Chains A and B, each alone.
Chain A
Amino acid sequence: MIKRPKTGQQVCKDCFFFAFEEEIHKTITDAGTFKRGERVAIGASGGKDSTVLAHVMKTLNDRHDYGLNLFLLSIDEGITGYRDDSLETVKRNKEQYQLPLKILSYNELYGWTMDRIVEAVGKKNNCTFCGVFRRQALDRGASSLNISHIVTGHNADDVAETVLMNILRGDVSRLGRCVEITTRGEDTIKRSKPFKYTYEKEIVMYAYFKKLDYFSTECIYSPEAYRGFARTYIKDLEALRPSTIIDIIHSAENIRISDVVQDALPKQQKCKRCGYISSNELCKACVLLQGLEKGTAKMAIGNKAKHISQEVTGDIRTIPMFKMPEQQQKAEQRV
């Protein structure tokens, strides 16, 4: 028997598996997440969340006949001793679930690996680079596969943590968006979180009892101290009242940013240099890459980034132009 962290109920393994999978199915169907025949990439890191996501997506696609074409999409950040090992797991998952796999590396896209970035900026702010670069890399990887929808393994704990982080940082624009199951701007790839209401503990239980093949080491470049506070707080809250994680998500779904603030937020536009969606003339990835290339990487973080020159000299590397899948397809046909 198992005690479900989400409901406190005592259930047998089979009933747990069924309830776990069907709750995710309900999240997907209630939000109208997929269209029949859609090509969908599963963001796969080899960790427990993405491995369970790949397993459950494959299971539900077969059981409920979603009619989806599923792919595995991995990003190789270039972290020796961590990502190279976890990518081996993803390659095994490819065989286990019979899903096509695409791996795109930071080195290929930006000319930098995370190991080199950490050498340049130190361990303190490297998560900023990794996060910004990964988001673009996933979209570019999906676009190259003619995919316009990515699903990620963000679970309820991650969503609750992000809500708190956005409050603590005063980032109201992200506060409203971070609890949406599917997010999409006009010129971006759709992102969905089928695990939005799924507890991390249940994902671990599912992976453990299903004996799934996943990689369980934390990133060697430790997470930010500030986020660590939010993470510990969420875990302590969960111990006090297990429903807290869901309660935080419910709260965030029921607040609205006042119109005055909404109007003052920067409007979305396209990056002048790489064509990716951005709230400034240059997207964050271009600013960060320029900082790395010019040896002023620390300048590219925070408010100082506003003063970085947008002039591009011939000797620095830039990110290739971003194209949405349909544009990418047309370009390939012309070639």
Chain B
Amino acid sequence: MSCGNPQSDVKDPGAETPERRTKPKNKICLKCKTEAPVIQVRHALYCRNCFIFTTSGKFLKWFLATFKTTDIYPAFYIGVSGGPSSRYLLHVLQTQLTPRKGKGNFIRPGAAEKLVVIYVNHANVVPGAQNLRKDIENMIKGYPNAEIIEVDVDSAWKDSQSSISAQLSGLPGQPPSGTTSSSTADLFDSTLATSSLESHLSLLTHHLILREARKHADGLVGKDKELPLFLATSATRVTIKLLSSMSRGRGWSLGSGEVQPESSQFGMRIYQPLLNTSSKEIAYFNKYVVPDDSKPVVNRTFSTFAPPKSSIDRLTEELVVSLERGFPSTVSTVAKTGNKISFAGEAKEGERLCTLCGWPARAKANDWKNGIAITKLDDKVESTESDQPSLADILCYGCYTNLTDSRARSEVNYALPGWTNEYAESQKLTEESMREEIKDCLLDDDE
């Protein structure tokens, strides 16, 4: 039967990978030592029951080490795409909401009063993608106190006041033309490189989840208290993310929480508890445990059915899958490496945020790029001074590279998300507060 993939006749590049996998000698389950194994995870064989116990046990162990048994939050937020990892996280997380028996007579209360699922709908921007709200509603129908917030990618352009079309040609920003939805379409339509498209979508999705979670949390606990937001990034996905983010020049944000199990961003405490669980384990867990009527749904992305060399993410995915086939510890090694990386900037510098992706941005990062290549032979320096900040000043290196790389047409009109001006204002405040801090050392020129 055909899988429907037009590229299915393309030769599998991983097929020639030298086989380095160690074949276990004993053909019995590693844990119970009685049953016949059904799955091999790295070098260990498990029977069905022991596999389910071990996999869910990883999450439980992490959860109990991270949250005190007496902590009760008004809500747990979780970003759900409907795919296998988020389906798995939904399943294991909801088990922590209901009271359960602890040691002795101790009854452990539920860790949160409700579960808020945030779903970002890509259907308007990804060709062939569907709105999975109904599927996600179906997934959470049996869970106590679960609610769903749906947000369209288009909503990033709500209240948009800035565009970057003119800035790319060296002129200050101009207001966007057209309506909110046409601005979104313009960004994705004008971007011809699939690598840039998937990067825009991934960053916007992450940011929208954060903003929606924060907006909801403001109504529950006010602006000052952080609430937990769970993201279902698996070890396999974080490996791909780490390598592709490195390839996109996003080293600065990698240390700020992009690949770490815990971080704080935008007033939310972000947890990524699946960084030690591979996509294979998740897929098998879903197969064995999740009921048939609420199985995960895989939606189309920009690189679905595309050959490996069509985009950075797709190419990286191919590399990781090929390597994991021959060298089964690759994913766990890289996932752990991500946890050893920390933010390279100073605390104050870290407050400077990219207005597009919301991750910390290094000041004048693009000057570095210009500094390593000679593009003009004379010493003439074009005057670019203006009251408006230049594009490189408001974006991080990775977003700047993405946007300028996607400038495949002579005339483009990239509207910046609606939060751009809000962030620009907050950064001005940061500079003012820094000035306030050093005011004692500043002398008037007249003195």
Over the window 12-29 of chain A, the binary record of Cβ atoms lying under 8 Å from chain B Cβ atoms (1 yes, 0 no) is: 000100110011001100
Main secondary structure of the interface of A (DSSP, over half): helix
Give min CB distance, A259 to chain B, whole Å.
7
A299 located at the interface, meaning its Cβ lies under 8 Å from any Cβ of chain B in the complex: no
Residues of A within 8 Å of B344, CB to CB, are 254-256
Q: How far is the CA of A240 from the CA of B248 in the complex (A)?
A: 11
B251 is contacted by which of A164, A172, A243, A251 (Cβ under 8 Å)? A251
A15 touching B377, Cβ below 8 Å: yes
Interface secondary structure of B, over-half rule = helix
- Minimal Cβ-Cβ distance residue in B for A23: B374
A248–B247 contact, CB under 8 A?
Answer: yes
When each residue 363-390 of chain B gets 1 if its CB lies under 8 Å from chain A and 0 otherwise, what string results? 0010011011111010000000000000
Residue of B nearest to A226 (CB): B327
Residues of A within 8 A of B371 (CB): 26, 30
Question: Does A321 sit at the interface, judged by CB under 8 A?
Answer: no
Judge whether A233 and B340 touch: CB under 8 Å: no
Q: Which residues of A contact B369 (CB under 8 A)?
A: 243, 246, 250
Looking at chain B, what size class is its interface with the partner chain? 35 or more
Q: Verify if B88 is at the interface (C-beta below 8 Å from A).
A: no
Which residue in chain B gives the minimum CB-CB distance to A156?
Answer: B372
Residue B123 at the chain A interface, CB threshold 8 Å = no
B-chain residues with CB within 8 Å of residue A175 when the two chains form the complex: 337
Q: Is A298 an interface residue (CB 8 A)?
A: no
- Across the interface, A243 reaches (CB within 8 A) one of B327, B330, B405, namely B405
Say yes or no for B397: interface residue by CB 8 A criterion: yes
- A23 adjacent to B246 (CB under 8 Å): no
B245 in complex: contacting residue of A6, A229, A251, CB < 8 Å: A251
Are A27 and B372 interface neighbours, CB within 8 A?
Answer: yes
B342 touches which of A15, A233, A246, A257 (Cβ 8 Å): A257
Residue of B nearest to A18 (CB): B377
Name the distance in Å between A49's Cβ and chain B's nearest Cβ.
18
Best-surrounded residue of B193, B247, B249 (most CB of chain A within 10 A)? B247
Contact A255 B255 (CB under 8 A): yes
* B412 at interface, CB cutoff 8 A: no
Cα–Cα distance between A40 and B241 once the two chains are bound (Å): 41
Which residue numbers of B lie inside 8 Å of A, CB to CB?
A: 18, 193, 195, 242-243, 245-252, 254-255, 308-309, 311-312, 315-316, 319, 322-323, 326-327, 330, 333-334, 336-337, 340-344, 362, 365, 368-369, 371-375, 377, 397-398, 401, 405
**9 intermolecular pairs with C-beta atoms under 8 Å apart:** A167-B334, A170-B334, A233-B315, A250-B397, A251-B246, A255-B255, A256-B344, A257-B341, A258-B341
Residues of A within 8 A of B (CB): 6-7, 9, 15, 18-19, 22-23, 26-27, 30, 163-164, 167-170, 172, 175, 197, 225-226, 229, 233, 236-237, 239-241, 243-244, 246-248, 250-259, 261
